[in-house]
Structure 1
Amino acid sequence: MKILILGGGGREHAIGKKLLEDYHLIQLYFYPGNGGTSIIGINIDNHHTVLDLGIFAKKNAIDITIVGSEIFLLEGVVDIFQNFGLKIIGPHYLAAKLEGNRIFAKSFMKKYGIRTPKYDIFYCYEKAIDFLKKKTNSIAIKTNGIASGKGVFLAHNQNEAENALKNIMIKKKFGKSGNQIIIEEFLQGKEVSIISIFNGKNIIPFLSAKDYKKVEDDEKGLNTGGMGAVVPNPYMTNSIWIDFKKNILEPTLEGLLIEKLTFFGFLYFGLIITSNKVYLLEYNTRIGDPEAQALFPLMKSNFLNIIQSIFKDKDKEISIDWKKLCSCCVVLSSRGYPEKYESGKIITGLNSLEEPFYIAGAKREREKWITSSGRVINIVGIGNSIQEARKKAYDKVKKIQFDNLYFRKDIGL
């Protein structure tokens, strides 16, 4: 069997490792991949368009393609692959707007009564500034388009709000993603990530996860793609699960079916718990990173069988078994991420590192590991409690060294 995985980070390495664990005869291909994926599969040469990727998959008889990164989804990769008659895991272009267009997603939530924070939409900087002058409470300012997980600003005063607006709408720090913005009421609470699999008929949730988005300890500093994660999320109680299914999952499924936004792939619910209620902050239409790295080591079920079952029979009920354990993922990054950072630093300690761990931004050069991106390595600890998993993860962190190494010290606390 040949499987192509689109993306080049720790999430894609984690997907590949899980598939090989379940069925070692798979031939894996990655685009663009990284130093870790090159060990377990073949990295396709760079500079491919999504059309080139479709031609490659057709020519090489790829059985299934899994989309890891949202970039490919918003370039219409699923539509192109389906036109080639290829099997691909991910939403078609219109459904991918649930992630790629926040205004589209918010309108969907409002239409189907999905509980979400109150919001206002702005296309004009001056009107947004006038609106802010009347606000005294903390707010969230969000770019309409995706910005690698960095297009959300929490503003607790007028000055912070105006600076965020200038960066987004005047300085164009996020390009076209900031042409329109959402100003949303700020809810104080505990964030939860629920990744699920959607077979076009039912949404089957994974274990809950807690993602640490800010670059600094105590959730301070700039937003990142994620500095760590723990599974399961300790704040996701039984009563919150019931609330989530009733007020978010079920109306989401109803809306997807009515609007014909059905697809075979993953749906990520970004939630916040406040006052014993859960609110939906955002959708992603792929597996989260670094949540995937914390989830896959706990999955007992055969992931390949789950994926294959989607294409064979969407009426067949999907059940996922999980180990009764906890995991903690710590992201080792280059100091300066998510803004300016230096790459090309020699990494030591990787060869003696115990599994599970995943390469996010490193490559092999002349038998040496070299940093190549902002997030470099994802280290995971497994234990009977989050505290035990956390200790194991940070014990493993001590074995890795490279210049300008940076990581949060509070993942799992």
Structure 2
Amino acid sequence: MANEVRRPRVLVVGQGAREHAIVWKLAQSASQPELYAAPGNPGMAAWAETVPIAASDHGALVQFCRDKGVDLVVVGPEQPLAEGLADVLAEAGIPVFGPSREAAQLEASKAFSKRVMEEAGVPTARHRTFSDVEEARAYVRAQGAPIVVKADGLAAGKGVVVAETVAEAEAALEEMLVGGRFGASGRRVVIEEFMKGVELSLMYFVDAHTAVPMLPARDFKRLLDGDRGPNTGGMGAFSPVPRVTQDVIDRVTREIVRPTLARLREVGVVYRGVLYAGLMLTDEGPKVVEFNCRFGDPETEVVLPLFAGDLFEVMWAVAHDRLDPAMVSWRQDAAVCVVMASAGYPASSETGTPIDLPAALPEGVTVFHAGTRLGDGGRLETAGGRVLTVTAVAQDVPGSIDRAYTAVSSIHFSGAQYRRDIAHNWQS
């Protein structure tokens, strides 16, 4: 028909479980967008055309958008945002959901983030920044332990060491500042006081004028049950967090998020996209552990399944500075996700291991692909550290836990690692 309205075309940049969840939710939009994912993964192929373009190839992504008439680009991972992909797209006249390179420094440089928080009067841990290992060692010895050592730059969620002893902190400094464990990201470190309290993840949709909170979530960073073992990118999460009241969320918005965004605007930086506030609920009130410049992973895999609005409508509004809080609403349910990782993770990962997925999953369960690929004969196999995120939605957290682990028990690949205690502390 000559007057038929063209469906919007959306490109999602990224290839992990977070991006899979974004594609899955966008596919539910009333606008029925035509979806592309670059480079995507096999799990996304049910809803999006996967495109073999790396997230780092900005020129090829811009050309693809021009060739296909893409109306909106959603940038999932932090690395391309820190490298300025949103700026390149904006300069080409392509609407984008995701912050500029300058705004993304809130995650890409912990020293920058701390400076903004100081200038905005935002509560966070006491800290110092160092590039000289001897000065850093002296500071750690003076402060004592426990103490937190963070690589200044991006480190895929693995650049934080919560040191229980001075010796452990000094070893982390040696690895980062001398051994070059995280390359350029670890040439400078931020050393922070250890904050006591309850951790919380709170993400916001943000445009030039408005910040709207999502449901609170809690993730689990350590590899092993009981919060033992090395830090990872995240081994699971749940949402909502029953103890986090609307009053707490309002306080975070008022004392942390709005002042941070206002300070950025004062120095000429407008933030658009998702702002993730990693928080510690202390006796003195909420304090910032870290900011991220994108959807959290695995928090996205529990928050988006509970989103009752139209994600395309919200993302389009953010990109055009038309965000309205009325666009954001939530289901009265709970979600839990369990990450299944490959053998060796997080130090290394086995790839090419066949994955056996059941033909049918329990009610309310969705499996988001993270590190997967199609091997010989089209078989699904592992292709990274975190392989699958198994998400379950039920009326409450205990019901979601049961559904998630029932599903996990039906999925098999050699050497699979996963925690058995995700959401064990849902009431605390």
Give the TM-score range, shorter chain.
over 0.9
Residue 236 of structure 1 is matched in structure 2 by: 244
Deviations 1:69-114 (A, max 9, x none): 0111111101110111000111111111111011000000000100
> Contact 2:107 / 2:292 at 8 angstroms: preserved in 1?
yes
Residue 359 of structure 2 is matched in structure 1 by: 351
Match of 1:380 among 372, 386, 391: 391
Please give the alpha-carbon distance, in whole angstroms, between the structure 1 residues aligned to 2:343 and 2:420. Answer: 14
2:266 is the alignment partner of 1:258 = yes
Please give the alpha-carbon distance, in whole angstroms, between the structure 1 residues aligned to 2:369 and 2:57. Answer: 24
Please give the alpha-carbon distance, in whole angstroms, between the structure 1 residues aligned to 2:183 and 2:316. Answer: 38
2:160 is the alignment partner of 1:160 = no
- Amino acid of the residue matched to residue 372 of structure 2? A
> Contact 1:188 / 1:274 at 8 angstroms: preserved in 2?
yes
Q: After TM superposition, list the pairs within 5 Å mapping 1:75-224 onto structure 2.
A: 75-224=83-232
Please give the alpha-carbon distance, in whole angstroms, between the structure 2 residues aligned to 1:319 and 1:37. Answer: 25
Residue 414 of structure 2 is matched in structure 1 by: 403
Q: Offset at 1:326?
A: 0.5
Residue 17 of structure 2 is matched in structure 1 by: 10
Q: Offset at 1:313?
A: 5.3
Please give the alpha-carbon distance, in whole angstroms, between the structure 2 residues aligned to 1:130 and 1:277. Answer: 30
> Contact 2:236 / 2:422 at 8 angstroms: preserved in 1?
yes
The 1:350–1:374 alpha-carbon spacing in structure 2 relative to 1, beyond 3 Å, is farther
Please give the alpha-carbon distance, in whole angstroms, between the structure 1 residues aligned to 2:258 and 2:46. Answer: 41
- TM-score w.r.t. length of structure 2: 0.93
Residue 362 of structure 1 is matched in structure 2 by: 372
- Amino acid of the residue matched to residue 415 of structure 2? N
Match of 1:342 among 319, 338, 350: 350
Please give the alpha-carbon distance, in whole angstroms, between the structure 2 residues aligned to 1:328 and 1:206. Answer: 16
Segments of structure 1 that go 5 or more residues without pairing to the other structure are: none
2:26 is the alignment partner of 1:19 = yes
Match of 2:77 among 49, 60, 69: 69
1:97 is paired with a residue whose SS is helix
Q: Offset at 1:242?
A: 3.6
1:131 is paired with a residue whose SS is helix
> Contact 2:317 / 2:323 at 8 angstroms: preserved in 1?
no
2:199 is paired with a residue whose SS is strand
Q: After TM superposition, list the pairs within 5 Å mapping 1:265-280 onto structure 2.
A: 265-275=273-283, 277-280=285-288
Q: Offset at 1:311?
A: 4.2
> Contact 2:210 / 2:324 at 8 angstroms: preserved in 1?
no
> Contact 1:202 / 1:253 at 8 angstroms: preserved in 2?
no
> Contact 1:51 / 1:77 at 8 angstroms: preserved in 2?
no
Larger mean CA deviation between 309-318 and 380-389 belongs to 309-318
Please give the alpha-carbon distance, in whole angstroms, between the structure 2 residues aligned to 1:311 and 1:333. Answer: 34
2:214 is paired with a residue whose SS is strand
1:389 is paired with a residue whose SS is helix
Please give the alpha-carbon distance, in whole angstroms, between the structure 1 residues aligned to 2:265 and 2:183. Answer: 33
2:279 is paired with a residue whose SS is strand
Q: Offset at 1:240?
A: 2.5
Q: Offset at 1:46?
A: 4.0
What is the number of residues matched between the two proteins?
413
Q: Offset at 1:276?
A: 5.3
Q: Offset at 1:329?
A: 0.5
Residue 256 of structure 2 is matched in structure 1 by: 248
Please give the alpha-carbon distance, in whole angstroms, between the structure 1 residues aligned to 2:97 and 2:254. Answer: 26
> Contact 1:50 / 1:75 at 8 angstroms: preserved in 2?
no
2:318 is paired with a residue whose SS is helix
Please give the alpha-carbon distance, in whole angstroms, between the structure 2 residues aligned to 1:31 and 1:277. Answer: 41
Q: Offset at 1:24?
A: 7.2
2:42 is the alignment partner of 1:32 = no
- Amino acid of the residue matched to residue 410 of structure 1? D
Q: CA RMSD in A?
A: 1.6
> Contact 2:205 / 2:318 at 8 angstroms: preserved in 1?
no
Please give the alpha-carbon distance, in whole angstroms, between the structure 2 residues aligned to 1:76 and 1:384. Answer: 41
Segments of structure 2 that go 5 or more residues without pairing to the other structure are: 1-7
Deviations 1:146-171 (A, max 9, x none): 10010000111111111111111111
1:323 is paired with a residue whose SS is coil
- Amino acid of the residue matched to residue 88 of structure 1? V
Q: Offset at 1:312?
A: 4.9
Residue 330 of structure 2 is matched in structure 1 by: 322
The 1:195–1:159 alpha-carbon spacing in structure 2 relative to 1, beyond 3 Å, is same
Please give the alpha-carbon distance, in whole angstroms, between the structure 1 residues aligned to 2:267 and 2:235. Answer: 35
The 1:324–1:315 alpha-carbon spacing in structure 2 relative to 1, beyond 3 Å, is closer
Please give the alpha-carbon distance, in whole angstroms, between the structure 1 residues aligned to 2:285 and 2:20. Answer: 35
Residue 3 of structure 2 is matched in structure 1 by: none
> Contact 1:6 / 1:68 at 8 angstroms: preserved in 2?
yes
